[in-house]
Structure 1
């Protein structure tokens, strides 16, 4: 049982205890004939429960202790001035408000923990959806969102927008010759090379790791994107030769360049897929 499951179980247990105590209180109230005191005490109990909920356990405990003291004063007053006694069964009001406040607080505290855990989980999902842990690059989710911004900028200001798609030539054949560590090293080396070689305002993405695919969004025309792609290829060859685990492998990059064309493309997916298709026509040179 993980922490979230344990917290959920505890919340359920506190809820059942609270309902059980409240039902017991209702039964005990029917067994006493003092309607006025029961009504007043019940109202004060609900107030103390709300105080515990909004202001915390310390405030709720303080309020309950004050309530116990007030009950003692009321009993002494009635016994001494009216020469009457309060039924002994009314003593349940000394302990029930405290128990009700404690179980309600326990339930809400565990529910708050669950809410915090769910919020963290949503944040992690969003983060993992936008960033790849193995390469520290933004993923397809972020690429599509950012590409839409690039496309809108192109529409408003007529700035040329291109995407560069990078893949590993004959990856399936190369993968059979690599172990897991070499595969991880290759992903990291390629990602680091692309990130280090591109300009500060160019954004790099990891689109796929099964068939490793990287993308770059640039405010540039096709010739400018080709210069950037060639620079990446050269830097990759140098870094590959320096790698202890990968230098024995012949790894080449293939590049596809796609310029945004509003007449032929309707969405960022068309933009990306056109770049991926273009990698098939890049003849990598060794």
Structure 2
């Protein structure tokens, strides 16, 4: 739904609310002017019941109930006329119209509110999805890494499975950035992301932690030695793909850092990332 549709829904809801309040005000004034306390009280409770039915069961049930309410009023009027004890209370005929108008107004107001709630729910889901996935590479981002790493760490506590992260960066990226055009930068980002995904196992999750200074991460249930083997495999695949791409003429190299979760030295997933980033500084191969 477009923003114009959203604005229209909000406007319709506001208009229906104002109409509903205006009808309530008119009903209160008419109840005071007509003076039939007993009948006004009975009809008021009947109207509240009709509105509850409208809210919970929709417009069809509301219209049927309104017809029943009108029939009830007609029977009361006919009874009073035939009994001859009272004159027909013409002043109370507004009860045949106002409950119906209130029901219709309430229905459209709640209908637009439900529509707005669905829109808000979709927006929240979209925000979460955009926060968890990178649009360009379709990789998970730092948001997802933090959530997943917490699960990995909890698994480490319960089952003593080693948890290791591989941090991948491009050596001297800031210098390369000044020499490369936007298209080349996008190609480098996609190439590296694809290589990492293809070179890792299906149960190893890949993340793009930073777009500005491209930083990738992989979470693995393995020890440092096993992660180092995976890191070397990624570097070899990267060099091979790079030599067969349009970026082959540039002096591009990948650096990796491997860090294993250590509960005695680390408190949260940020510490695991920081340890991996520090290890990339010592990758001189």
1:166 corresponding residue in structure 2 = 168
The one-character-per-residue Cα deviations of 1:215-274 (angstroms, maximum 9, x if unpaired) are 011122222212111111121222233335x34433221111112223322222111101
**1:38-77 map, 5 Å:** 38-77=40-79
How far apart, CA to CA, are the structure 1 residues paired with 2:206 and 2:133? Answer: 11
Task: Answer yes or no: is 1:24 the counterpart of 2:26.
Answer: yes
What's the offset of the Cα at 1:196?
Answer: 1.1
1:141 corresponding residue in structure 2 = 143
**1:108-123 map, 5 Å:** 108-123=110-125
1:80 corresponding residue in structure 2 = 82
2:134 corresponding residue in structure 1 = 132
Q: Which runs of 5+ in 1 are unaligned?
A: none
Task: Answer yes or no: is 1:266 the counterpart of 2:270.
Answer: no
What's the offset of the Cα at 1:14?
Answer: 1.2
1:107 aligned to which of 91, 106, 109: 109
Q: Secondary structure at the match of 2:27?
A: helix
How far apart, CA to CA, are the structure 2 residues paired with 1:64 and 1:230? Answer: 76
Q: What is the TM-score of this pair, normalised by structure 2?
A: 0.91
**1:85-104 map, 5 Å:** 85-104=87-106
Structure 1 window deviating more from structure 2 (48-57 vs 123-132): it is 123-132
The one-character-per-residue Cα deviations of 1:43-69 (angstroms, maximum 9, x if unpaired) are 111111000000001111121122223
RMSD: 2.0
2:277 corresponding residue in structure 1 = 276
Q: Secondary structure at the match of 1:217?
A: strand
What's the offset of the Cα at 1:206?
Answer: 0.9
Q: Secondary structure at the match of 1:215?
A: strand
Q: Secondary structure at the match of 1:176?
A: helix
1:207 corresponding residue in structure 2 = 209
Q: Secondary structure at the match of 2:179?
A: coil
Q: Are the structure 2 counterparts of residues 247 and 73 from structure 1 closer, same or farther at C-alpha, using a change threshold of 3 Å?
A: farther
Determine if contact 2:77/2:89 at 8 Å carries over to the other structure: no
Q: Secondary structure at the match of 2:35?
A: coil
1:198 corresponding residue in structure 2 = 200
How far apart, CA to CA, are the structure 2 residues paired with 1:230 and 1:39? Answer: 83
How far apart, CA to CA, are the structure 1 residues paired with 2:31 and 2:154? Answer: 69
Determine if contact 2:170/2:252 at 8 Å carries over to the other structure: yes
Number of residue pairs matched by the alignment: 283
What's the offset of the Cα at 1:9?
Answer: 2.6
What's the offset of the Cα at 1:78?
Answer: 2.0
How far apart, CA to CA, are the structure 2 residues paired with 1:77 and 1:179? Answer: 89
What's the offset of the Cα at 1:26?
Answer: 0.8
Q: Secondary structure at the match of 2:202?
A: coil
2:231 corresponding residue in structure 1 = 229
2:187 corresponding residue in structure 1 = 185
